[in-house]
Structure 1
Amino acid sequence: MRTPPIVTADEAVGLIADGATVTVSSSSGLGCPDAVLAALGRRYRDTSAPGGLTLIHPIAAGDMYGIKGIDHLAEQPGQLSRLFAGSLPSGPSDFGPPAVRALIESGGVQAYNIPSGVLFQMHRAAATRQPGVLTEVGAGTFADPRQDGARMNAATEEFVRIEHLAGKDWLFYPALSVDVAIIRATTADPFGNLSFEQEGGTLGALDQAYAAHNNGGIVIAQVKRTSPDRLPPSTVRVPGIVVDVVVVVPEQMQTTQISYDPTISGEASRSLAEIEPLPWGPEKVIARRAAAALHHDDIVNLGFGLSAGVPRVLLEAGHEDEVTWVIEQGPIGGFPLTGFAFGSAMNPHALMPSIDQFTLLAGGGIDVAMLSFLQISGTGDVNVSHLPSRSHVTVGIGGFADITTFAPHVVLSGYFTAGSRDIEVGDGRLTIRQDGDVAKFVTDVAQISFAARNALDRGQQVTVVTERAVLRLTPAGLEVTEIAPGIDLRRDVLDRADCDLLVSDDLRLMDHRLFREVAPQLELGPRRRPLLMPAGRPPVPAAPPTRCGATSHA
């Protein structure tokens, strides 16, 4: 029986040849095999090999706040020739601005920003020798070849194609032949079997390992420890038959600045009473109003940004068990965490592989997607992936495109303007002392991450929640349905947008209780789906989502 050798990180990266295609399992600081990546960058600095690598990162490797990840390979020109990434470290940070951003912006590497779920599927397609992935994910966005084709700079060649099949157009993302997979786990047994008992998720490790192994490549596994005995079969998440070498790193962190928290890996649970309430301010108002879109027993995806405050608002109101959270990194259920632990959950009910999580998300198997935004156009197109004021380089679409393609209800949370602001909430009203000088509602977004026309054609509901107004997507454009008590519609909303906004004939005030520090009574809508169906009867359609602008759930 195979017994993969235990080697040093430097010995492991010595197996990687010039021009190899290398896939890395990580999600920012979660599950990042940073010791192996550091050794790979170190080898190139010392020997100029291996160079010309193609690197694949379904989710960002490294967060620049203690784990450099991909930046180990971007500091010296020539090590990378092509990059396929769902997202990138955002920086600046403890290490300074990410070198990978400068490399992309200078044209020093061909770079593609592919939706994370699609990148995971591309690995499965490669492992099973399929030509690639046909999907609607990314249609109408910057990933569409009729726009940028997912290319991040002028040096990047065409990759995504349009294919016509079964009477419609699809985006086609070709599979990539993988030579090396660098993955991470907690424990390796003598036969190379890997368990993830202290990890916050398995991410894409298995499919990335299969993609390399089935292509005749190698799999490098970084682990925290080894076991002298064979692991129980039910705990093995990557079988040893596909693992070639093991690198032991006893000091590897569970995630950035978190050595080990058993409630993240589901090995223990603890009371949610220790969760700090969301601080009082405009962001809490936004989270409260966003929570009003939820119904009992909803399955809800949670994204990064202001939407991450919604679970804490529900907890404060005693509704923490009324919805089930789903996070693209793998957790189902439990309480989503923020900060350096984002992507993890406390007391999760299940930890699914990311590719299987995206099967649920991209197929519309959720009720609501709670996400955030950078810019929105008057027609409803959304940008979450490009920071026009900071760099020409995208921060990455991540799983946003996969999640929003078929989500029945998309709730986008954010401030109405950007820049330096002085906004006070209290006594049932909102007061703007100084407004941000950067418009977030614009004529044309810097990059289309969400195509409004496609959402309208699919019948999706889109709600935008800000501190001063609530808007909804209509065929005619974005329509203001609610405004905050204390503000003026013309001065504080319409004139602060760089695009035309519609105003609902039924315009109303946001519930004044949202703007009082004492927690309001929060009522969720009735269950959308019946629990049981009478025999012999067709399924009853889900109840329509609560109309945007209703205040009965505030």
Structure 2
Amino acid sequence: MRQNKIVTADEAVALIRPDDVVTTTGFVQSCIPEALHAALERRFVETGKPGNLTLIMTAGAGDSKGLGTGRFHHEGMLGRVIAANFGRMPKVAKAAQENRIRGYNLPQGVISQLYRACAAGQPGLFTKVGLHTYVDPRHGGGRVNTLTQDEIVKVVEVDGEEWLFYRATKIDVALIRGTCADPAGNLCMSKEALTLDNLAQATAARNNGGIVIAQVERVVEQGSIKPKDVRVPGILVDCVVVAEPEHHRMNYGVQHDPALAGEVRIPVGGLRKMPLDARKVIARRAAFELPPNGVVNLGVGAPEGISAVANEEGATPYITLTTEAGAVGGVLASGSSFGAATNADCIIDQNQMFDFYDGGGLDMTCLGMAECDEAGNVNTSRFGGRLNGCGGFINISQNARKVVFAGTFTSGGLETRIEDGKLRILKEGRARKFMAGVEQNTFSGPYAKERRQPVLYVTERCVFNLTQAGMELIEVAPGIDIGRDILAHMDFMPVIENPILMDRRIFADQPMELLADILNLNLHERVSYDKERNLLFVNLEGWQVRSKGDIDALRQVLETACLKAGQRVNSIVNHDGFRIGENLYDDYAEMIEYMSAYHYLTSTRYATSAFLRLKMQEALNRRGLAPHIFERRSEAHAFLDAAIRSAETRAAAE
């Protein structure tokens, strides 16, 4: 006989015992089992039980004002917290900062994947995520205070490589959420924006002999849920609680949006356009880094604007945007709906998304930054007296093929104005972001350099690039004075060679033709041929190589121009302001080798950047090619003219 598992919220939470390890679902403000949280809080306030609970959670789940896991702040209710985000439960964070509870701040993807390890009876998780950050036991092991003594992270060596081992914590209670359930506890999630880790959490609790409590909005007839629509089978569920509508909102700002749930698809052309302010300037500049046909993750805050910019520019079909919560494709949502997507291609479980991220599936990520230092380290987890937490930042930033950090140059009262295509600083922010040293290391610049990971830092007034020489100032906004508006508000001196102006299109309130840039549609306009001198001039000033596909596009344009000339040509290339990731220099040198073998008589190039000249010389030398790269245009032309005269002299002598 099938058991009817439908109970009240109070009856369900009465099964939770003191000292239990409790995990709950939710992402930011979405998919939170609010009725269960409220019932558990009510029981503790009325009876003082259950106390000394361990709370395990992935992303923050609350409104930062007391809802969600913020309900668990009462003295004695929690004894330990293992979480990726503390910012959405500030009173719990304060208790941890004051040494009143033990706490660990671990990467979101690690916690998400640890649910599966618990479910499978494994001791923990091996991963490189967290190496050389504050999670590394050599730098704190993720412990948030001195009360927390136990080490749950270890450094281990496998085949000569360093890994981190995260110890799994067995789970006694899982609080999960679905849309509907049948009396046997089979759950569907048809009206949820995300599926998160419900299945893994339920399996982890069930296989440990614990209990699983599921919140739903309605109960349906036994057998009416199609088998493939069941996201958590009834064999894992002990109790089903039907929540009142106010406790089962899609998120705290939206009762229900069928487009976010994937029930309908809506036109996106009419989505509200962002006003042209500092936030949009940052999003626009970062959008120029989007890789064509690439997979991208966007963080909360300033990076969210990239989705709106891409939609404005018609670039969304050529970029697949994702969130760590599991949304793939569509237009990413913001505000209370952050983590979901309108017109998503699919929604996968959160732990599966982190499998994809950790394995290097992301072509690019754009994340926020609270602090940055001269080594390129970034802090988003603990600053200004706040314990915010890392969320998915460490997983994402360490494993993406390219990282763009985005945020205002200063914070706290910054006021700007954009007029006549220029940026004006009306009032400087009170807090500096570019420090001599970050308070906590959430991203390791030296580790990124060691792995040749391209890293960019985008603000409303300038752009920095992480190079082997340090943080280099590479772009400055029109209207900005380097000394007055940049250096005067930094605690360190960046490398300054020859910064160029940020693209003026960013500061004009009209379409930027971003799509043409992403797809290299106008690349042919950078190539011109002088028939009299048999000279091919290639103007790559300000152009950037985002991927090997960009190199292939350039090769095609150059080869077409050479074939049209009908003979081998002399070429000269302007590399001023040219940017290329260190991991792509060899591919670029291969393209030059190909053109030299089949189309060039003589080739030379110039760049004011000493670092670029050095890296290009190294790449060309490895292929046995003479670099012929100069600092000034006049030097490059003089070399080419001499080479042409020498060739003409030889031809005449023959």
> TM-score by structure 1 length?
0.92
CA distance in 2, matches of 1:283, 1:376: 18
Shift of 1:359: 0.7
List gaps (5 residues or longer) in structure 1: 92-97, 528-540
In the alignment, is the contact (CA less than 8 A) between 2:421 and 2:478 conserved in 1?
A: yes
1:87 is matched by which residue type in structure 2? Answer: N
More relative contact order, 1 or 2 (CA 8 Å, 6+ apart): 1
In the alignment, is the contact (CA less than 8 A) between 1:4 and 1:243 conserved in 2?
A: no
| Structure 2 counterparts to residues 428-507 of structure 1, below 5 A | 428-503=421-496, 505-507=497-499
In the alignment, is the contact (CA less than 8 A) between 2:87 and 2:387 conserved in 1?
A: no
State the secondary structure of the residue aligned to 1:272. Answer: coil
Is it true that 1:70 corresponds to 2:63 in the alignment?
no
In the alignment, is the contact (CA less than 8 A) between 1:369 and 1:404 conserved in 2?
A: yes
1:138 is matched by which residue type in structure 2? Answer: G
Instruction: Give the match for residue 269 of structure 2.
Output: 273
In the alignment, is the contact (CA less than 8 A) between 1:288 and 1:313 conserved in 2?
A: yes
Is it true that 1:56 corresponds to 2:56 in the alignment?
yes
Shift of 1:495: 2.1
CA distance in 1, matches of 2:309, 2:550: 24
CA distance in 1, matches of 2:276, 2:153: 45
CA distance in 2, matches of 1:480, 1:90: 35
Instruction: Give the match for residue 369 of structure 2.
Output: 373
1:40-63 Cα deviation digits (max 9, x unpaired): 111111111111111101111212
In the alignment, is the contact (CA less than 8 A) between 1:140 and 1:451 conserved in 2?
A: yes
In the alignment, is the contact (CA less than 8 A) between 1:364 and 1:405 conserved in 2?
A: no
Alignment CA distance shift 1:548-1:278 (3 Å): farther
1:189 is matched by which residue type in structure 2? Answer: D
Instruction: Give the match for residue 227 of structure 2.
Output: 233
1:46 is matched by which residue type in structure 2? Answer: E
| Structure 2 counterparts to residues 355-394 of structure 1, below 5 A | 355-388=351-384, 391=385, 393-394=386-387
State the secondary structure of the residue aligned to 1:237. Answer: coil
Alignment CA distance shift 1:549-1:269 (3 Å): farther
Instruction: Give the match for residue 309 of structure 1.
Output: 305
Shift of 1:549: 5.7
In the alignment, is the contact (CA less than 8 A) between 2:51 and 2:78 conserved in 1?
A: yes
CA distance in 2, matches of 1:259, 1:486: 45
Match of 2:83 among 82, 85, 95: 85
Instruction: Give the match for residue 38 of structure 1.
Output: 38
Alignment CA distance shift 1:544-1:172 (3 Å): farther
Is it true that 1:249 corresponds to 2:243 in the alignment?
yes
Greater mean alpha carbon deviation, residues 406-415 or residues 505-514: 505-514
In the alignment, is the contact (CA less than 8 A) between 1:2 and 1:241 conserved in 2?
A: no
Is it true that 1:105 corresponds to 2:97 in the alignment?
yes
| Structure 2 counterparts to residues 62-211 of structure 1, below 5 A | 62-64=62-64, 68-74=67-73, 76-90=74-88, 98-157=90-149, 158-211=151-204
State the secondary structure of the residue aligned to 1:238. Answer: coil
Is it true that 1:21 corresponds to 2:21 in the alignment?
yes
In the alignment, is the contact (CA less than 8 A) between 2:377 and 2:443 conserved in 1?
A: yes
Instruction: Give the match for residue 642 of structure 2.
Output: none
Shift of 1:101: 2.2
Shift of 1:273: 2.8
Match of 2:337 among 319, 338, 341: 341
CA distance in 2, matches of 1:45, 1:511: 57
Alignment CA distance shift 1:218-1:259 (3 Å): same
CA distance in 2, matches of 1:202, 1:141: 29
In the alignment, is the contact (CA less than 8 A) between 1:465 and 1:471 conserved in 2?
A: yes
Instruction: Give the match for residue 209 of structure 2.
Output: 216
Shift of 1:526: 4.2
Identity of aligned residues (%): 39
Shift of 1:299: 0.6
CA distance in 2, matches of 1:321, 1:548: 31
State the secondary structure of the residue aligned to 2:212. Answer: strand
Is it true that 1:320 corresponds to 2:313 in the alignment?
no
Which stretches of structure 1, 4 residues or more, deviate above 6 A after TM superposition?
Answer: 544-548
State the secondary structure of the residue aligned to 1:83. Answer: strand
In the alignment, is the contact (CA less than 8 A) between 2:291 and 2:364 conserved in 1?
A: no
Shift of 1:171: 1.3
In the alignment, is the contact (CA less than 8 A) between 2:28 and 2:88 conserved in 1?
A: no
State the secondary structure of the residue aligned to 2:382. Answer: coil
CA distance in 2, matches of 1:87, 1:4: 36
1:126 is matched by which residue type in structure 2? Answer: C
State the secondary structure of the residue aligned to 1:87. Answer: coil
Shift of 1:524: 3.6
1:219 is matched by which residue type in structure 2? Answer: V
Shift of 1:407: 0.7
Shift of 1:550: 5.3
CA distance in 1, matches of 2:265, 2:195: 19
Shift of 1:319: 1.4
State the secondary structure of the residue aligned to 1:402. Answer: helix
Shift of 1:190: 2.3
Greater mean alpha carbon deviation, residues 287-296 or residues 422-431: 422-431
In the alignment, is the contact (CA less than 8 A) between 2:33 and 2:176 conserved in 1?
A: yes
1:253-282 Cα deviation digits (max 9, x unpaired): 011121111000101011113311111111
CA distance in 2, matches of 1:460, 1:28: 29
In the alignment, is the contact (CA less than 8 A) between 1:223 and 1:250 conserved in 2?
A: no
1:348-400 Cα deviation digits (max 9, x unpaired): 11000000011111211011001111111111000111231xx2x42110001
Shift of 1:548: 12
CA distance in 2, matches of 1:551, 1:524: 14
In the alignment, is the contact (CA less than 8 A) between 1:364 and 1:407 conserved in 2?
A: yes
2:423 is matched by which residue type in structure 1? Answer: L
In the alignment, is the contact (CA less than 8 A) between 2:35 and 2:244 conserved in 1?
A: no
Greater mean alpha carbon deviation, residues 154-163 or residues 105-114: 154-163
In the alignment, is the contact (CA less than 8 A) between 2:70 and 2:88 conserved in 1?
A: no
CA distance in 2, matches of 1:216, 1:317: 53
CA distance in 2, matches of 1:548, 1:421: 32
2:60 is matched by which residue type in structure 1? Answer: A
> TM-score by structure 2 length?
0.78
Alignment CA distance shift 1:548-1:169 (3 Å): farther
State the secondary structure of the residue aligned to 2:388. Answer: coil
Q: How many residues were matched structurally? A: 527
Shift of 1:498: 0.9
Instruction: Give the match for residue 12 of structure 1.
Output: 12
1:148-204 Cα deviation digits (max 9, x unpaired): 211111111232121222212211110111111000010101221100000011101
Alignment CA distance shift 1:296-1:229 (3 Å): same
Instruction: Give the match for residue 95 of structure 1.
Output: none
2:36 is matched by which residue type in structure 1? Answer: V
Shift of 1:7: 0.8
In the alignment, is the contact (CA less than 8 A) between 2:6 and 2:183 conserved in 1?
A: no
Shift of 1:72: 1.4
In the alignment, is the contact (CA less than 8 A) between 1:4 and 1:244 conserved in 2?
A: no
1:125-165 Cα deviation digits (max 9, x unpaired): 11111111111111111111111211111111232121222
Shift of 1:491: 1.8
1:207 is matched by which residue type in structure 2? Answer: A
In the alignment, is the contact (CA less than 8 A) between 2:213 and 2:238 conserved in 1?
A: yes
1:303-323 Cα deviation digits (max 9, x unpaired): 101010011111111212110
1:470-514 Cα deviation digits (max 9, x unpaired): 1111122110101011111122112211122111x3421111221
Shift of 1:106: 1.7
Shift of 1:543: 4.1
Shift of 1:520: 2.1
CA distance in 2, matches of 1:258, 1:434: 35
Shift of 1:344: 0.8
State the secondary structure of the residue aligned to 1:37. Answer: helix
Shift of 1:13: 0.6
In the alignment, is the contact (CA less than 8 A) between 1:463 and 1:548 conserved in 2?
A: no
CA distance in 2, matches of 1:542, 1:223: 48
